[in-house]
Structure 1
């Protein structure tokens, strides 16, 4: 009886027999970034054994690919923060939202790959994170706007601005907290941002 299985045969295939896909390109790029490697599309295409034109067709451009990587980091942190807050029955309304916001900011302050990236490529990194060239900024605003809309419809918060505007400002405040060491040489501190969040979302700090 042969000891070969479909898995062992697949693993023994030559690299040239494996077909790269847009998803495998993203996964490899993300792994490189987490390892602290610079994102080089020519090297990525070579490693995937596809033409650079094919890779560009898949990912759009370097900014958009990096935006997907950064969004995947944020989305994982956001989902984990939501799950922790939902697991605490004592949290409701402004307390629920503030806990999520604070958890996300703390996680991003402590995200070593993110800060390694910003130290190595500060100009490009800040452009990706604080503008919409990569599509990341709008995704962040849309994500928070949906959460605010849900809480507004439930009557658990009563801000003095609409959900989209509120989401934009709390994202900007978060950026000033998370990246302040690079922007102005200050030590990141999530508490003032959480205080400002409560003021904007609920109009008071109690």
Structure 2
């Protein structure tokens, strides 16, 4: 429940919001508060404003997705990091609830997901920084960029191809994510 402020009622509110988001519904704070039998100010105390709640829901979905991918992708070095990025992009592109959110609230979604000020983007950068560092420590690869800077570049590449339809009118493409990141990491092996 990243970003949710606490208490059992907050957890109930968060789970309800998450279920609605997964169902492809727009998160409406007034409707959510009414469903919970509270006023909006109480809901805001529990979960923050709408953007904060959306980021918390998105983070709660990103974490298990990334964890599952990291656990299943084999290999080492830059190739492993590139595969993980590609599989993550594939998961984002293929999630109907996520695409629904992007289409319904494009500007808000891109602001919450792709800006450097976004807690979600910073969270995903942290995950990839951990992966890059793990592969460096394993002796899997060496790169000239600082770990955090490299992780930021990786996340921006993911964003470029996942949100290509919204940014440039192109088709989202997870395969391009893996190929681009492998090239950045100087790893074009199998």
* TM-score normalised by structure 1 residue count: 0.83
Indicate the residue corresponding to 1:55 in structure 2.
Answer: 43
- Consecutive unaligned residues in structure 1, runs of 5 or more: 1-18
By how many angstroms is 1:133 displaced?
Answer: 5.2
Q: How many residues align?
A: 183
Q: How does 1:106-145 map to 2 (within 5 A)?
A: 106-132=90-116, 134-145=118-129
* TM-score normalised by structure 2 residue count: 0.89
Indicate the residue corresponding to 2:80 in structure 1.
Answer: 96
Q: 2:14, 2:57 within 8 Å by CA — same for their partners in 1?
A: yes
CA RMSD of aligned residues (A): 1.7
Runs (4+) off by over 3 Å: none
Identify if the C-alpha distance between structure 1 residues 48 and 134 changes in structure 2 by more than 3 Å, giving closer, same or farther: farther
Indicate the residue corresponding to 1:64 in structure 2.
Answer: 52
Structure index of larger Rg: 1
- Consecutive unaligned residues in structure 2, runs of 5 or more: 1-6
Q: Cα deviation per residue 1:50-88 (whole Å; 9 max; x = unaligned)?
A: 232221112121111100111122112111111211xx4
By how many angstroms is 1:132 displaced?
Answer: 4.7
Q: Which whole-Å CA distance do the structure 2 matches of 1:76 and 1:115 have between them?
A: 18
Identify if the C-alpha distance between structure 1 residues 132 and 46 changes in structure 2 by more than 3 Å, giving closer, same or farther: farther
By relative contact order (CA 8 Å, sep 6+), the higher-ranking structure is 2
